[in-house]
Amino acid sequence: MVGSIEAQVEKELVQRSFSGRGAEERLVRVNFACNQACDFCFVSTHLPTAPLDDVRRAIVEASADGKRVVLSGGEPVLNPKLVEYVRLAKEHAAGRWPVELQTNAVLLDDRAKVDALVQAGLESAFVSLHGSRAEISDVVTGAPGTFARTVVGVDNLVRAGVAVILNFVICTANKDDLPSVVELIAARWPGVPLNISFVAPSTDVVPRERWLIPRYADAMPHLEEAFVRARALSVPLTGFESMCGLPLCLVPERLADFLDKEPILEGGDEGEFMRAPACEGCAIASRCWGVRRGYAEIHGTDELRTVKM
């Protein structure tokens, strides 16, 4: 148990993350506050921003450990020191990896902000896009009026040459909108990849409720339709190999993609995941995170299957 607000900030300032097999990263939360209020967010957005020197030290130490640094939040663009942090991350990356920002891009509807970040060294952006239109985005993000600003922010990032990946978190409110998100990307940002995540009951901040967390089975028809449209429209899909993806047995069209992946790092999930009975003897078990304990508490594990090769 953490004894003070300061200790909690220190504890959550840096998060170990895995974007894929062997791709270990350090998320540095340059602030915790956010201008959206997604129910599935697992960040402690009530916490104050860490001291400037602590954020600087976190960036330098993570880089010195040979880990890619991702600047995150809350919403990091709220921090007036973000340009400085991007410049510092660029300096210490020393060309080993691109400097990445995790953002909802709402405040990046200002071209001048994007240009300043790019001049400081920003090369990549992982942008939250949780709906294809405002009506859905407003419900998911709890921030009416921000959808149009996110769209313009993505426009500005793409225009500036930043490598953008859009991130859609499947939850009960938006699960049937995923195919339309694919169509939006194809029409407005051709070639930009879509990372598909599934709502993660990973901390006590996330309600472990069915109104938020759908069964995999209820989301799969929309996911399968999104696969079909993405293939037809040449929209790259990714994210299934990450901690925020789905159990791999539920994405059969992509199973071959995972056969040559390195096994996941043992203990990398810090106990957040579990193995279901179906995982025993599964041909891809070593490359799959399994199922989150929080999901299993709500829906069980009978949807998973054993993959045989």
pLDDT digits (tens, 9 = 90+) for 35-81: 999 999 999 999 999 999 999 999 999 998 888 899 999 999 999 99
Q: Give the number of other CB atoms < 10 A from CB of residue 42.
A: 16
Q: What's the pLDDT at 204?
A: 76
Q: Give the number of other CB atoms < 10 A from CB of residue 252.
A: 12
Cα–Cα distance between 81 and 304 in angstroms, integer? 45
pLDDT at 23 over 70: no
Mean pLDDT on 180-184: 99
Number of residues written out for the chain: 309
What are 65's two structure tokens? 């450990």
With vertex at residue 149, the alpha carbon angle to CA 201 and CA 203, rounded to the nearest 5 degrees, is 10
pLDDT per residue as tens digits for the range 260-308: 667 776 666 768 899 999 999 999 898 899 999 999 999 999 999 999 8
Minimum mean pLDDT among 4-13, 104-113, 123-132, 139-148: which range? 4-13
Considering the chain, what is the average pLDDT of its residues?
92
CA nearest 100: which of 170, 185, 32, 157?
A: 157
Whole-angstrom distance between the N-terminal and C-terminal Cα of the chain?
Answer: 45
Q: Do residues 67 and 26 touch, judged by C-beta distance below 8 A? A: yes
Cα–Cα distance between 18 and 41 in angstroms, integer? 17
What are 268's two structure tokens? 């990398």
Minimum mean pLDDT among 20-29, 114-123, 239-248: which range? 20-29
Tell me the domains of the chain and their CATH numbers. Answer: 5-246 (3.20.20.70), 249-309 (no CATH)
On whether the pTM is more than 0.75, the answer is yes
CA nearest 268: which of 256, 286, 246?
A: 286
Query: Residue 132: which pLDDT band, with cuts at 50, 70 and 90?
Result: very high
Give the type of residue at 69.
V
